Chains A and B, each alone.
Chain A
Amino acid sequence: MHTPSSPARMLARRSFFRVAGAGAAASALVLAGCGKDDPEPTVAGTPTLTLGSFVTTTSSDPNITVLNYAYLLEQIEAAFYDKVVATPPADLQPGELAYLTDLRDHELIHREYLKYALGTSAYDNSLSAPLVFNFSTFTLTTRTGVWTAARQLEEIGVAAYNGAAKYLTSAEHLNALGKIVSVEARHAALAREVLQPGSFADNVGTTGLDDAKTPAQIVALIQPFVPVVISTANLPTT
């Protein structure tokens, strides 16, 4: 295993981002933490978002990769609630729009917190335009459709954080994600309760544990919302 010097790695990553940015319009988008020293962005065909290796030690900081992963998830949630609050379904019950607005605000705050924490390492810094997420699989014209979608997205968030936090090596980042994931779990419980009182923890298993999913499992769930193909090639499997 070769270990380039620190400046060399910095340079590699910086130039890599530039390449990714320049090619973004036509091709490759890459989530930070690329595992290869000489990445070769695809230049044609389907645009691809490559989630970097979480555990590569030579050129990738697992904290950056996990934070970018969380950032992508929070972007999706924020975009969803933004859309719902902008054009809410007509049959919302009293108090529900206020709840959806709170959820929107929390997710915007989470998104911007993570983007700030990532700084120059945020994966979308070099994109020419922000990703536009696709929620066409949801029914957003009814309160049931909206809360069903919210439940699905919040459950994805909880399971994703629970499953990826162990890849962090920074205690400060771990503490920050801990502060966020319990709020997501509260959101998930709310969405469940709106749909069916008493169902706040119906997904909790027989050992009392909430869901935890691997990044590969989560990617399969969020792919329908993301306008580019997410590559799982560099995701951890254990």
Chain B
Amino acid sequence: MYLLKLLAELATTDTTPLEQSAPRRAALESLGRFSAKTLAAALPLGLAALPTQAGTTTILDSLTLALQLERLQEAFYARALAAPAGFFPADATIRASIVTMQRHQQQHITLLTDAITNSGGTAPARPNYDFTGSRNGTQPAFFASVFSNFDDFLRLAQLLEDAGVRAYKGQVEALISNDFILQTALQMHSTEARHAARIRIIRQKRAAVVKPWPSPADASITVAGKTDIVYSGENALEQSVPGYRPVPFRLLPIGSGANILTQGVPEAFDELLNTAQASTLLGLFTY
């Protein structure tokens, strides 16, 4: 089954030359399974010259990116939970929810770190975080009140959770050759989606114009040139099926609601963030 998957991948990938450092290759092999790239590397020379997986994201790269995002979120909640009394509102379920989310992120960090180290890889050093966006005071802050104004905190929480969902989604393709890691990543991914929905529901109850899922009807909370990357492309009006054929929603029996094509369709699909976009977002809050 794995072999068939890999052959299918090889058949559909471009001709990017194989480029992979030896340590990384060794780490991947010790995952006990293999990616298209390691298979290509293991094949005789003639076959190794065949097309390899598009792009250069390996399973190890994907796990590392996920680890960095989970650490960012965990640190964010840790600081909020350490804020002076009165920062959280009186409704005790709100603080309890943030505690739950932080616990999930700690659990994800453990899972991801184990997967990386057990495979012979090395988890990157933990960076410093500045959630005001000032990069430790070296530039103007765009979330200056994030730990003093609870609604500001919720806005950044929503951004980070929605971005986390999108970032996991952007990595699943790189994990397709490893059933175990793919399923685990998807299980973390839908946990993140629950977090995002909860944050959005808390905001909605505090009179923000927002739904539990990203919607064109949401009031924008992004900062142009900074956090707008989080929702870049999220309100796509079109979807495609393999072969990049667009789905003609207006011709399908999906109902006749006034906003079905302009609101329902974008809401029904969460979009992905690619590796570069997710890394850019990480860079806004790390130094």
Contacts and interface: CB of A to CB of B under 8 A. Distances in A.
A18 interface: no
Contacts of A115: 252
Contacts of A175: 169, 172-173, 272
Q: Is the interface of B mostly helix, strand, loop or mixed?
A: helix
Contacts of B97: 198, 200
Contacts of B197: 185-186, 189-190, 193, 200
B268 A183 contact: yes
B194 A189 contact: yes
Nearest to A117: B241
Nearest to A182: B193
A105 interface: yes
* Interface size range of chain A in the complex: 35 or more
A163 interface: yes
Nearest to A200: B198
B183 A170 contact: no
* Interface size range of chain B in the complex: 35 or more
B67 to A, nearest CB: 13
Given A102-B267, A179-B270, A201 B241 contact: no
A204 B107 CA distance: 11
Contacts of B91: 197
Q: Is the interface of A mostly helix, strand, loop or mixed?
A: helix
Given A189-B198, A201-B194, A208 B103 contact: yes
B188 A208 contact: yes
Contact of A209 (B105, B184, B241, B271): B184
A198 to B, nearest CB: 4
A112 B270 contact: no
A143 interface: no
Contacts of A212: 183, 186-187
B96 interface: yes
A169 interface: yes
Given A116-B247, A209-B188, 6 more contacts: A105-B257, A113-B239, A162-B187, A171-B176, A201-B191, A204-B191
22 contacts: A105-B264, A105-B268, A106-B264, A108-B255, A109-B265, A113-B247, A161-B186, A162-B186, A166-B182, A169-B4, A174-B176, A175-B272, A181-B190, A182-B169, A185-B191, A189-B212, A198-B96, A201-B198, A207-B111, A208-B107, A210-B187, A212-B187
Q: Considering the complex of A and B, which 3 residue pairs feature the smallest CB-CB distances, nearest first?
A: A208-B107, A198-B93, A185-B193
